[in-house]
Amino acid sequence: MDQITQQQNEIKTLKLYGSNLKDFIRYLKICSNYIVDITLNINSNSINTTFMDPASISLISFSFDSSRFIEYDYKNDIKITFNLKDFLKPIKLKKDSAMVIEIKNDRVYYTIDNLKFNLCLIDPENEKDQKIPELNFKAIIKDINNDLIKDLKNFVKSSNETITFKILNNEFILDSKNETNTISLKVLDLNNEYNLKSKFSQHYLKALFKHLNKNDDLKVYFDNDYPLKIDLNNNFKFILAPRVETN
The full set of domain ranges for the chain reads 2-120, 139-240
Amino acid in the structure at residue 36: V
Q: Give the Å distances, CA to CA, from 192 to 139, 224, 228.
A: 7, 14, 17
Residue partners of 96: CB distance under 8 A and separation at least 6? 17, 18
Sign (positive or negative) of CA dihedral 214, 152, 206, 138: negative
Distance in angstroms (rounded) separating the CA atoms of residues 33 and 208: 8
Total Cβ atoms within 10 A of residue 134? 5
CATH class of 2-120: alpha beta
Instruction: Please tell me whether residue 88 adopts helix, strand or coil conformation.
Output: helix
Task: Supply the pLDDT for residue 130.
Answer: 87
pLDDT at residue 179 tops 90: no
CB 191 within 8 A of CB 158: no
Residue 230 β-bridge partners: 220, 238
- For 68-108, what is each residue's pLDDT tens digit? 999 998 888 889 999 999 999 999 998 889 999 999 888 99
Q: Using CA atoms, how far apart are residues 166 and 139, in angstroms rounded to an integer?
A: 9
Residue 126, pLDDT score: 66
Residue 15: predicted pLDDT: 94
- What pLDDT shows up at residue 3? 47
Tell me what pLDDT residue 132 has.
93
Rounded CA-CA distance 105/57 in Å is: 35
CB-facing half-sphere around the CA of 119: CA atoms within 13 A: 21
- Containing 85, the helix (H) or strand (E) segment is helix 84-88
pTM equals 0.91
The pLDDT of 39-48, averaged and rounded, is 94
| Residues constituting the chain | 247
CATH topology of domain 139-240: Proliferating Cell Nuclear Antigen (3.70.10)
Could you tell me the pLDDT band of residue 176, with boundaries at 50, 70 and 90? Answer: very high
Measured in Å, how far apart are the chain's first and last C-alpha atoms?
A: 49
